[in-house]
Copies of this chain bind each other. A is one copy, B any other.
Amino acid sequence: MKQSQTLIPTLREVPADADVKSHQLLLRAGFIRQNTSGIYSFLPLGRKVLQKVEAIVREEMDAAGGVEMLMPALQQAELWQESGRWASYGPELMRMTDRHNREFALGATHEEMVTSLIRDEIKSYKRLPLTVYQIQSKFRDEKRPRFGLLRGREFLMKDAYSFHSDQKSLDEAYDLMVTAYSNIFRRCGLNFRAVLADSGAIGGKDNHEFMVLSEIGEDTIAYSDSSDYAANLEMAAVTVEYEQRKHSGQKMARIETPDKKSIADVADFLQVDQQETVKSMLFIVDEKPVLVLVRGDHEVNDIKVKNVMNAKVVELATPEETVKWLGVNVGSIGPVQVPESIEVIADNAVKFLGDIVCGANEEGTHYKHVQLDRDFSVKKFDDLRFVIEGDPSPDGNGTIQFAKGIEVGHVFKLGTVYSEAMNATILDENGRAKPMIMGCYGIGVSRTVAAIAEQFNDDNGLVWPVNIAPYNLHIIAVNMKDETQVQVSEELYKLLTDYRYNVLLDDRTERVGVKFADSDLIGLPVRITVGKKASEGIVEVKIRKTGETYEVQKEELTDKLQDIFRQLSNI
C-alpha cells in the first residue's frame, strides 16, 4: 500500500484525554479515532491489526473444533426475559424499540440467542457436542468508558458457546478452549496468564480468565514465580504452614486504647507486632451475624467466607449493625465474650498465635495476653484470608507474586443455567429429556489489540510483533524529488510485494524527519530506507524492535529480510 493512497493521520501531540500508552499510541499513530465516548473507528492500519488478530482467533477456534456462525446484534427482549437477564442486566445492556414498539437489546453477549437457536434445532444427545462461535461487534453501555479500546461501549468480540449431553464432554471442550486461548495469546506475542477466576453468581467450578500482565490492569493476579499457577486475588488459596507460637501464661489484661482505630495504630501503641494481633470483622451471612477473625497483618477474603459458610450473601456489617450486635463501634470489636447468637470463625493463622491482642468489645479498649480456647473460642478454622506476596504457591511450586492484569479472554463452564431457564433439553440415551450442558468462551478482539499495543511500544511509538503488524515492511523514500530514490523505492515495493511481504511505501513528499518519526510511531517490524546510496544500489534496513541497522545491497535484500524475519519470529 502506498501511503499517499491510504489514511494514516499521525499526531505529534499526545491527545489530552488519553491516559494509557496503548490509547495514546493508537491515536497518535493513526490506527483509531474516537467518534464519541467509548466508541471508536478503526482507520486502515487499525482495521488491519484487528484482522490479524481475527485471523489467529479463527484459526485456533477452527482447530479446536468450533464452527463459525453469525448471529444478529438485534435481539428481541423476549429472549432476555426468558433467562431473567432483561431485568437483572442493568443499564449496561443497551435497549431500544422498533417501529412497532417491540423491545430489543443490542447484543452485549449471546447466551440467550444461541440457546434459543440450538434449542430449536437439536433434540437428541446424538447431535452433541457442538461448539459454535462468531466474531462480531458487541454493545455494552459502560458507565465509565476509558483507556480507549480497553473499555469501550462498542467493541469486537469473539464469543463461543459449546453444548453437551454430559459433563465429561464439556470438560473436554473446555480443555480444548483453554489450549486454543493459550495459542491465540501466545501467537499475539502477549505476556499473559490463564487465571483461576471467581464464578460469581452463575456458579460452575471451572472458570478461567486470560489476563495480559500490565500495570494498567484493573485486576490483581496472584501468580507463582516458578510455575504456571495464577488466580484472581480473591481465588488464590492460602497453604502456608504456620509455626505454633507459645503463650506466655499471663492473664488477659484490659488496656485503654483511646482513638486507636486500626490494627496498625493499636500495635504501634502497644509496641507489639501486627502478627501478634487479631483483626475481628463482623459479617452478615445470609442474615445471621458471623464474627470473622484473621491475623492482624492479614485481610478477610469475603468470597472465601461465603464459600466456607456455603452462603448466598455475605456482607460486611454496617456500623449500626455492629453496634446492635456487639454494643460497640467497629474499631474495638473482638472475639472475647461475644453473645452466643454470633458465630465465630477464624482463619487458620489465628490457631497458631500465642499471646493475642484484640478488641475488648468496649469503646477505646483492647485486651492483651489473650489466649485461644482459654479466653475465646472459635467454631471453625479455615482459609479465610487473601494471599499475600511471599505466600507459597498453592500448587507447591514457588511463592506468590502479585501483578496487575487486563482481561482479554474468559472461559466458563456454564452448566445448565441457561438451558434450564430457557428449557433447552435433549433426549438422552434412555429417551429422557434433560437440559443441555453448556460452556461459553469469550475473547475481546479489539481489547486484545489494545493489550498488544500496551505491551509492545517504546518511547518512539508502537513496536508490533511480526504476527500482528499491519504491514511487515515500511519502505521510506527519503527524497521524493530524487528520481533514483523514487525509482528504487517503487522497484523494491514491487519486488517485495511479489515476495509476499505486506509492504507500506511512504511515497509522501514530506521531510525525512517527519517520515522517520511517523515510521517509528507506526511501528512496523522492519524499515527499509532508500536514501542517497540508492544510486549505488544500497539501502538501509532497520529493525524497529532493536534499532539495529544494516546497509544492504539491493540484490541481497530478500535474503537479508528472510534472515531478519526468521529471527524476529523466534523472539
Contacts and interface: CB of A to CB of B under 8 A. Distances in A.
Interface of A: 1, 5-7, 9, 33, 35-36, 39-44, 46-48, 50, 65, 67-76, 91-92, 94-96, 98-99, 102, 106, 113, 116-118, 120-122, 130, 132, 134, 136-137, 139, 141, 143, 153-154, 156
Report which residue of A7, A40, A47, A71 has the largest number of chain B beta carbons within 10 angstroms of its beta carbon: A7
Given A74-B39, A99-B141, A143-B99, A69 B47 contact: yes
Contact of A6 (B42, B48, B67, B102): B67
Nearest to A137: B73
A44 B72 contact: no
Contact of A132 (B44, B95, B134, B139): B44
Contacts of A50: 70
A71 B40 CA distance: 7
A130 B40 contact: no
A16 to B, nearest CB: 15
A48 B68 CA distance: 8
Given A36-B76, A96-B96, A137-B137, A7 B121 contact: yes
A117 B33 contact: yes
A12 B134 CA distance: 27
A428 B50 CA distance: 34
A474 to B, nearest CB: 16
B5 A35 contact: no
A154 B9 contact: no
A407 B20 CA distance: 46
Contact of A99 (B5, B46, B91): B91
B47 A68 contact: yes
A69 B42 contact: yes
Contacts of A96: 94-96, 106
B72 A41 contact: yes
Contacts of A68: 44, 47-48
23 contacts: A5-B130, A7-B67, A7-B122, A7-B130, A7-B132, A33-B117, A35-B72, A35-B76, A35-B117, A39-B74, A41-B69, A42-B71, A44-B69, A44-B132, A48-B68, A70-B156, A72-B154, A92-B99, A94-B98, A95-B96, A96-B96, A98-B153, A99-B141
A153 B96 CA distance: 14
A391 B185 CA distance: 65
Nearest to A163: B7
Contact of A39 (B72, B130, B134): B72
A33 B130 contact: no
A132 to B, nearest CB: 7
A415 B24 CA distance: 35
For the complex of A and B, the 8 pairs showing the least CB-CB separation, nearest first, are A96-B96, A42-B70, A9-B121, A44-B67, A91-B99, A6-B67, A41-B71, A36-B76
Contacts of A39: 72, 74, 76
A164 to B, nearest CB: 13
A153 B73 CA distance: 11
Nearest to A33: B117
A33 B67 CA distance: 16
A9 B39 CA distance: 37
A171 B36 CA distance: 33
A36 to B, nearest CB: 5
A73 B73 contact: yes
Contact of A69 (B43, B65, B91, B139): B43
Contacts of A92: 99
A47 B6 CA distance: 29
Given A35-B74, A44-B68, 16 more contacts: A5-B130, A7-B69, A7-B121, A33-B117, A35-B76, A35-B116, A36-B76, A41-B72, A43-B69, A44-B67, A46-B69, A47-B134, A72-B137, A73-B154, A74-B154, A96-B106
Contacts of A95: 96
Nearest to A152: B72
A159 to B, nearest CB: 13
B42 A5 contact: no
B153 A74 contact: yes
A135 to B, nearest CB: 10
A43 to B, nearest CB: 6
Nearest to A95: B96
Contact of A141 (B35, B36, B98, B136): B98
Contacts of A72: 35, 39-41, 137, 154
A35 B154 contact: no
A501 to B, nearest CB: 16
B33 A120 contact: yes
A65 B137 CA distance: 26
A377 to B, nearest CB: 50
A141 B121 CA distance: 27
A141 B98 CA distance: 7
A39 B75 CA distance: 9
A71 B156 CA distance: 11
Report which residue of A44, A50, A75 has the largest number of chain B beta carbons within 10 angstroms of its beta carbon: A44
Nearest to A91: B99
A396 to B, nearest CB: 38
A280 to B, nearest CB: 40
A41 B67 contact: no
